[in-house]
Amino acid sequence: MTVLDRKLSRLHETRPSGIMLHLTCPELMARGLDEFNRARPSLLKSVQLYGFNGNQVWPTKVARDLSLFAPERYANPRSGPDWHKFSEACAEEVKAESQRVAAYYEQQAQQRKEREDRENRAAAE
């Protein structure tokens, strides 16, 4: 029934505006209701079926990995007692990156100078 409800919802979303007629939910029609409310909720949301062994059969329960919500996963190690170690490591990374970038631009400048010198010599000949 939930699949049918989703299909009905998609059908209602794609119909042209101004069309007031729409299909009703099969559960509403079968139960003779106009709408679901607090006193008469949808059975699909409120009914649970159990087997003879006592296990819930419908709706099927989805196993969730609760470790995703563990606070340790989101803890920031930089806010702990060893925060200064991260600060020093970050400073070293920044220094190494700035040296790498400076060397790259120095190499580019050297290659450009060599290329310009070659072009000037070729033009002079």
In a domain, 62, yes or no: no
pLDDT band at 107 (very low <50, low <70, confident <90, very high): very high
Residue 111 lies in a domain: yes
Q: Is residue 60 part of a domain?
A: no
Average pLDDT, the chain: 83
Of 47 and 95, more confident? 95
> Can you give the pTM of this predicted structure?
0.37
Distance CA 9, CA 22 (A): 10
For residue 73, give every residue at least 6 positions away whose Cβ sits within 8 Å of its Cβ, in sequence order, or none.
67
Q: Is residue 90 part of a domain?
A: yes
Any domain includes 63? no
Domain that holds residue 109: 78-124
Q: Is the peptide bond before 59 cis (omega within 30 degrees of 0)?
A: yes
Q: Does 69 map to a domain?
A: no
5 domain-assigned? yes
Instruction: pLDDT band for 1, please (50, 70, 90 cuts).
Output: low
Counting the structural domains of the chain, the total is 2
* Residue carrying structure tokens 């607090």: 38
Identity (one letter) of the amino acid at 20? M
Residue 57 counted as domain residue: no
> What is residue 72's predicted lDDT score, i.e. its pLDDT?
63
